[in-house]
Amino acid sequence: PLKQLTPRETSSLLTNLKAFPIQITGKMSLAKSFVTKGGVELKEIDPKTLESKKVPGLHFAGEVLDINAHTGGFNITAALCTGWVAGSRHYEP
């Protein structure tokens, strides 16, 4: 579990994740380009905070949400907006 890592191990893990190489080999046609299908159903979250109705304190944003649409700016807009909403809430532990 992540909480069992030392600060040095956590730092090393983050460094490796940020440097992980991903080779892009091509793209699909616009007709086949969609926001990722599936994910957390919208009825399972509070639309004002994007907090899970099942797990208090857990918030969802971006493509982990079950939002389907053609590309063309919608997915990045949804990711940015839902990220802002989910991240703008401050909770005391």
Mean pLDDT, the chain, integer: 83
Looking at residue 93, its pLDDT comes to 47
Q: Is the dihedral of CA 78, 62, 45, 59 positive or negative?
A: negative
Give the per-residue pLDDT at 9.
93
Number of H helices, E strands in the chain: 2, 0
The full DSSP string for 26-85 is: ----GGG-BSPP--B-GGGB-TTT-BBSSSTT-B--GGGB----BSSSHHHHHHHHHHHH
Containing domain of residue 29, as a range?
25-93
Tell me what percent of the residues of the chain surpass a pLDDT of 90. 30
Categorize the per-residue pLDDT at 6 as very low, low, confident or very high, splitting at 50, 70 and 90: very high
- Whether residue 8 lies inside any domain: the answer is no
Residue 67 domain-assigned?
yes
Domain count of the chain?
Answer: 1
Say whether pTM exceeds 0.85.
no
12 domain residue, yes or no: no
Mean pLDDT for the stretch of residues 56-73: 81
